Amino acid sequence: MEGPSLVIASEEFAPFLGRKVSRASGTVKLPLLRRKKLLEVRSWGKHLLLRFENATLRVHFLMFGSYRINNPRENRSPKLELHFGKNAICFYSCAIKEINADPDELYDWSIDVMSDKWDEGRALLALKKKPDVLVCDALMDQTIFSGVGNIIKNEVLWNLHLHPETPLGFLGARGLRYVVQEVRAYSLKFYKWKKQNVLKRNWKVFRKKTCPRCELPVLRKSTGKLDRVSWFCEGCQHLGAATKAA
């Protein structure tokens, strides 16, 4: 689950804000949440933060995690189940951890690509310091682009006509700026499309067979030090180029 999906999750939990947990259970060790109010739900990158009166939980969905509201899965034990009277939120196959610090101290919202506090200049500076890092790895770096995952990475690179294995040093100040701006712009589109249930239909290259721009076959290859799969088109995505996204 990528950053924009976590923002949507936060919004879906809004009806439970200010309400007391009537029952909490699960297969993970938890603080005592019964009779505690849910005070705040927000995300930082791929982290979902649930603040209660007495504790803050951090939920990370990793690759396979999911949640359901008033619609539990059959034959599955949730990692965490929060009841609010007749309503219940269930979390499955995620990593849940109690946070003992103030989230504002722990997290820097200026590197969260979905945050109002997102700081383009800060990301640009971080990229300029790593000329040897490949752009496919840089985009997945959660300390620079918190919330970006493999879908956003591949779509951003395609939009910029940029080969995933381009070293940042090849890009120049203007190219790096295009990268940073497109990450933010695409993340906001991802959010909008996902809410409208049209995200997949808007993928241009991720898990695609053919490039919609030049009709050549899309390549699928493990790339970078992170060794994550990139989908890209050798016909229109080049090393050392970055074309301003349309």
Partner DNA sequence: TCCAATGTTTCGCC
Partner DNA sequence: GGGCGAAACATTGG
Binding of DNA by 63 (CB under 7 A): yes
* Spatial CA neighbour of 46 closest among 135, 143, 123: 143
Residue with Cβ nearer DNA (54 or 77): 77
Binding to DNA, residues 132-171 (CB under 7 A): 140, 142, 149-151
Residue with Cβ nearer DNA (207 or 244): 207
Q: Which part of the chain contacts DNA (CB under 7 A), choosing from 9-17, 31-39, 58-66, 104-112?
A: 58-66
Residue with Cβ nearer DNA (20 or 220): 220
Can you tell me the distance from the alpha carbon of 43 to that of 168, in angstroms, rounded to the nearest whole number?
Answer: 28
Q: In the bound complex, what is the minimum distance in angstroms from residue 150's beta carbon to DNA?
A: 3
Binding to DNA, residues 16-45 (CB under 7 A): 45
Pair 47, 60: CB distance under 8 Å? yes
75 φ, ψ (degrees, to nearest 5): 60, 30
Binding to DNA, residues 217-246 (CB under 7 A): 220, 225, 228-229
Work out whether the CA dihedral 232, 238, 244, 246 comes out positive or negative: negative
First to last CA, the chain: 26
Q: In the bound complex, what is the minimum distance in angstroms from residue 174's beta carbon to DNA?
A: 27
Can you tell me the distance from the alpha carbon of 153 to that of 137, in angstroms, rounded to the nearest whole number?
Answer: 9
Choose which of 92, 107, 145, 232 interacts with DNA (CB under 7 A): 92
Q: In the bound complex, what is the minimum distance in angstroms from residue 228's beta carbon to DNA?
A: 6
Cα distances from 220 to residues 64, 107, 192, 209, 210, in angstroms, run 21, 34, 27, 9, 11
Binding interface with DNA (CB under 7 A):
1-2, 5, 45-46, 60, 62-64, 66, 73, 76, 92-93, 95, 140, 142, 149-151, 206-207, 220, 225, 228-229
